[in-house]
């Protein structure tokens, strides 16, 4: 039995959680900064870093108090050490270092993307390696072969925008506010996707990569045309995005089976966009076609949270990182992945 304190601060959620090796989320708290960033229509790094600095210490104290525990009861302190907005990452990581040093417990520096990648195993004990993971968040859109803890092979990535970013930009174009993904999903429910023709970038292309910039531009043109209902645009955008996601994920599944002969145990989705019901049901249908189990974390574990960071700490329990471990603004899960042709700086 082990229990890990996890801290997350890479974007606009300050979060702390206690998770044990029996997969129990013993306590968790999340302080969202949506209200602070809303006037700017997106996350402002300086405001985020300041808010994390104000909140992280009381949040950790409250999480421990909720569980009736002190630092003496935990086996390790895990914190997101990147990638993300560097000011926020530094705040969470420095706090974790201080707590680890004061309590003489190991520090475990967690890659935020690994937190997302392993989060489905927190909710589903039956999920075994290797699995094919679609990781879709505000900053990332990747297809990964998850072979084990710390063993990730990137099969595909976006050459421009992340999927969550495309949802957020569509929300902005439609004046739906921030954060955009859930608002687009809600509006799409009342629209008719067939009324607005939109492109499906990279559909059918050989490598399982993604592109959403052209789709976003087409959404902007559809809005500017002034002849479509916003709900129809939202529905058409979501459908086009899902068609791309399904096609690209199918390509990765087929290539994995044919080229590499590695049989995956499941099709898994994680990250903020995994909270989208239409995305989930599209992927569930795809998994069914290939007789694969489909695994998606509960909604609260999809968007940023500290339980996934604590769980990654449980998966890595026994390891420790030096107290001078530096926060990393960029930290690819697969350092050997080749750069993608056509990709900009975000690759
Ligand atoms: O994983 P996450 O919380 O933060 C990052 O690591 O980026 O993902 C946030 C992203 C945002 O772009 C947000 O709009 C999107 O996930 N998102 C959604 C939904 N809920 C969150 N996108 C579509 N539908 C949703 N229901
Ligand atoms: Zn995230």
Ligand nearest to the CA of 272: 1
- Contacts of residue 46, defined as CB under 8 A and 6 or more positions apart, other chains included, come to 87
Check: CB of residue 78 under 8 Å from CB of residue 96: yes
pTM: predicted TM-score of the whole model, two decimal places: 0.95
Give distance in angstroms: CA of 135 to centre of ligand 1: 11
Q: Is 181 in the pocket of ligand 1 (CB under 6 A)?
A: yes
Ligand nearest to the CA of 172: 1
Q: What is the pLDDT of residues 61-84, one digit of tens each?
A: 999 999 999 999 999 999 999 999
Q: Is the pLDDT of residue 88 over 70?
A: yes
Give distance in angstroms: CA of 114 to centre of ligand 2: 10
Check: CB of residue 208 under 8 Å from CB of residue 155: yes
Average pLDDT of the chain, as a whole number = 95
Confidence band (pLDDT; 50, 70, 90) for 344? low
Q: Is the pLDDT of residue 329 over 50?
A: yes
Q: Is 160 in the pocket of ligand 1 (CB under 6 A)?
A: no
Q: What is the pLDDT of residues 215-267, one digit of tens each?
A: 999 999 999 999 999 999 999 999 999 999 999 999 999 988 787 677 899 99
Pocket-testing residue among 31, 181, 300, 304, ligand 1, by greatest number of atoms within 8 A of Cβ: 181
Q: Is the pLDDT of residue 339 over 90?
A: no
Protein residue closest via CA to atom 22 of ligand 1: 181
Pocket-testing residue among 32, 303, 307, ligand 1, by greatest number of atoms within 8 A of Cβ: 303
Looking at the CA of residue 302, tell me the nearest atom of ligand 1.
1
Cα–Cα distance, 154 to 39 (Å, whole number): 36
What is the pLDDT at residue 347?
38
What is the pLDDT at residue 179?
81
Confidence band (pLDDT; 50, 70, 90) for 346? very low
Q: Domains along the chain?
A: 3-117+303-315 (3.30.420.40), 128-296 (3.30.420.40)
97-109 average pLDDT score: 98
Degrees to nearest 5, angle at CA 76 with 73 and 79: 125
Looking at the CA of residue 238, tell me the nearest atom of ligand 1.
23
Protein residue closest via CA to atom 10 of ligand 1: 138
Q: Is 303 in the pocket of ligand 1 (CB under 6 A)?
A: yes
Ligand nearest to the CA of 139: 1
Q: Is 238 in the pocket of ligand 1 (CB under 6 A)?
A: no
Q: What is the pLDDT of residues 184-226, one digit of tens each?
A: 999 999 999 999 999 999 999 999 999 999 999 999 999 999 9
């Amino acid at each position: 039995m082990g229990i890990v304190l996890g801290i997350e601060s890479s974007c606009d959620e300050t979060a702390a959680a206690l998770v044990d090796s029996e997969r129990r989320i013993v306590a968790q708290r999340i302080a969202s900064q949506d209200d602070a960033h809303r006037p700017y229509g997106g996350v402002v790094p300086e405001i985020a870093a300041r808010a994390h600095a104000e909140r992280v210490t009381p949040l950790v104290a409250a999480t421990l108090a909720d569980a009736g525990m002190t630092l003496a009861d935990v086996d390790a302190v895990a914190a997101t050490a990147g990638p993300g907005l560097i000011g926020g990452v530094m705040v969470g990581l420095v706090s974790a270092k201080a707590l680890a040093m004061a309590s003489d417990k190991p520090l475990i520096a967690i890659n935020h993307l690994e937190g997302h990648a392993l989060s489905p195993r927190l909710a589903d004990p039956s999920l075994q390696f290797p699995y094919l993971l679609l990781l879709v968040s505000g900053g990332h859109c990747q297809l990964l072969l998850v072979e084990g803890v710390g063993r990730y092979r990137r099969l595909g990535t976006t050459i421009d925008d992340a999927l969550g970013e495309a949802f957020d930009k569509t929300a902005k174009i439609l004046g739906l506010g921030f954060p955009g993904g859930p608002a687009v999903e809600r509006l799409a429910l009342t629209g008719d996707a067939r009324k607005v023709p939109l492109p499906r970038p990279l559909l059918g292309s050989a490598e399982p990569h993604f592109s959403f910039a052209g789709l976003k531009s087409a959404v902007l043109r559809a809005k500017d045309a002034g002849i479509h209902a916003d709900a129809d645009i939202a529905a058409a955008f979501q459908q086009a995005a899902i068609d791309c996601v399904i096609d690209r994920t199918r390509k990765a599944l087929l290539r994995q089976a044919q080229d590499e002969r590695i049989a995956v145990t499941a099709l898994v989705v994680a990250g903020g966009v995994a909270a989208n019901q239409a995305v989930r049901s599209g992927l569930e249908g795809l998994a069914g076609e290939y007789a694969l189990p489909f695994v998606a974390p509960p909604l609260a574990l999809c968007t940023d949270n500290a339980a996934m960071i604590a769980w990654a700490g449980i998966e890595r329990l026994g390891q420790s990182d030096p107290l001078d471990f530096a926060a990393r603004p960029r930290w690819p899960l697969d350092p050997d992945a080749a750069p993608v042709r056509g990709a900009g700086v975000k690759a």
